[in-house]
Amino acid sequence: MKATAGRGTVLLAGGLLLIGFLLAGCTEKQSAHESSGETAASAPDRAAAGKSGAPKDAEKTESKQSSHGHEEGAAPHGHDEVSGPVVTLTPIERTNIGLKTEAVAARPFEDVRRLPGVIKATPERIALVTSRTPGKVVDIHAALGQRVQKGADLIEIQSVEVEKLELDLLHAESRSRTEVLKLETDLTQARNKLRLAQADADRNRQLVDKGIGARKELIAAENQLQAVQYEIAGLERQIELAHLAARTETEGLKRQLRLLGLAEADIERVRRERVVTVLHIPAPIAGVVVDRPAVLGQVVEPATTLLKLVDTSVLIVQGAAPEDLLRELRVGQPVRVMVPAYPGRRFEGRVTFIHPQIDAERRAVHVWAEIKNPGGDLKEDMFVQLSVVVGGGPNTLVIPAAALMTEGGLDFVFTETPAGFTRAPVVVGARNDEYVEIKQGLSVGQNVVTDGKRQVYTVFLAARSGAPALGGHTH
């Protein structure tokens, strides 16, 4: 009995499986038949739909268009395979993304050579601040990174040598005044004696003239008068020599103080106030303090660097050009410098120096270009791209380099049209740091997006994939 029941169960399962296969085959045939029937009847149905206005297929088509996002009666977006959807932005959206456009134009296309470079300080605009005499740092008035003007007080140094010279100057002037004062006193006394000798000689002369005086007394009085006159002349000469000697000594001491770095105003203050002063070291140039190794209390020597100043208002870019470009480079050629730290900005200058020798290891020639940097945005040792304009060419259809985009190895731009912004494929030619030559795809006068192109591209991709765009429009 058990074996009979088992065989019955197996037969029942096999029958059910066979029925399932038959039903599946019928379903597939019915679906294919309905599909072919629907395809064959599509043309008559569309014709009938044009006459009756309410067939089932027309309703399906209308339903699909409605679900695609277009309102009934609205003009459909351009969706050709090349340009894709049209991107529409409201004025607020354009402002928010900072959108800018520039017209396609025909202009002389500059011949540019791009060189790698690095920013360095101009050698003539670097100053190392040192003390000209041994001493101790007692005060520092400049902080690291501070911009100082020429002549500004930077550091105060207490120097034994300076103080000794200041004291020698004060002693020399004091000694000179004392000596001159003594000579002037002697001169005053000699002039008083001169008046007495003159009066005595005049009296004796009158007596001799009247015949009541002795001539030898007149001769003695005249000799005394002459002696006093000689004495006065000698004293006046001594005073003159004393002034000359004092002036020579003080000027020598002042010159030594100036050589050690003491300012003329400080020297005059020492002479006026009769006190010694510290050595004030001024800024030799206007610039920025880029290094400050000096510290308070440090004992320094003349070879010790206290501060380093760099005038960053003008910098140089040191570029390396392959030797085969040497024939195209000239001093005075305009250059443009682009720095990764400031994308979109260009700093202009001129070639100022081409090294007379070739770098044997790199097989390159060093080129210097002077760049103005009034705002101080450029820093030393920044890596840059140096574009040297070696010549100009004929008028060429160009667009700003900032407008060009690439997708899948194909170049394109976004152009502005009355309906919005469309993707326009282009064929490009030569390029420089500012413009790209357009050989095909654009014409003069068309506006291409430069700033905000990435945002427009994002909206374009969203519209092409059916995702919400900036304004909430689903495409």
Fold match, 64-109+392-475 / 126-158+284-310:
no
Rounded CA separation 163/260 (Å):
11
Q: Specify the fold of 64-109+392-475.
A: 2.40.420
Contact criterion met (CB below 8 Å) for 129 and 148: no
Rounded CA separation 267/162 (Å):
11
Determine what percent of the chain is predicted with pLDDT higher than 90: 50
Nearest residue to 115 via CA among 397, 285, 320: 320
**Sign of the dihedral through C-alpha 227, 229, 232, 236:** negative
Q: Are strands 299-300 and 305-310 parallel, antiparallel or unpaired?
A: unpaired
At residue 4, the pLDDT reads: 41
At residue 346, the pLDDT reads: 87
Report the CATH number of the 126-158+284-310 domain: 2.40.50.100
Instruction: Express each pLDDT in 264-301 by its tens digit.
Output: 888 988 888 888 889 999 999 999 999 999 999 999 99
Residues with Cβ within 8 Å of 150's Cβ and at least 6 positions away in sequence, in order, are: 282, 283, 284, 285, 286
Give the Cβ contact number of residue 383 at 10 Å: 11
Which residue in this structure is represented by tokens 């040497």? 326
At residue 211, the pLDDT reads: 82
Domain range list for the chain: 64-109+392-475, 111-122+311-391, 126-158+284-310, 160-273
Question: What value does the CA radius of gyration of the chain take, rounded to a whole number of Å?
Answer: 50
At residue 31, the pLDDT reads: 38
Per-residue pLDDT of the chain (475 residues; tens, 9 = 90+): 333 444 444 333 444 333 343 334 433 433 333 333 333 333 333 333 333 343 344 343 333 333 343 333 333 344 454 567 899 999 999 999 999 999 998 887 677 888 999 999 999 999 999 999 999 999 999 999 999 999 999 999 999 999 999 999 999 999 999 999 999 999 999 999 899 989 988 888 888 888 887 888 888 888 998 999 999 999 999 999 999 999 999 999 999 999 988 888 889 888 888 888 899 999 999 999 999 999 999 999 999 999 999 999 999 999 999 988 888 899 999 999 999 989 878 899 999 999 999 988 888 999 999 999 988 899 999 999 999 988 776 788 889 888 999 988 899 999 999 989 999 999 988 777 778 889 889 999 999 999 999 999 999 998 888 765 554 443 4
Give the Cβ contact number of residue 300 at 10 Å: 20
Cα distance from N-terminal residue to C-terminal residue, the chain: 70
CATH architecture of 111-122+311-391: Beta Barrel (2.40)
- The partner residues of 335 in beta bridges, in order of sequence, read 349, 388
At residue 467, the pLDDT reads: 62
At residue 83, the pLDDT reads: 67
At residue 415, the pLDDT reads: 94
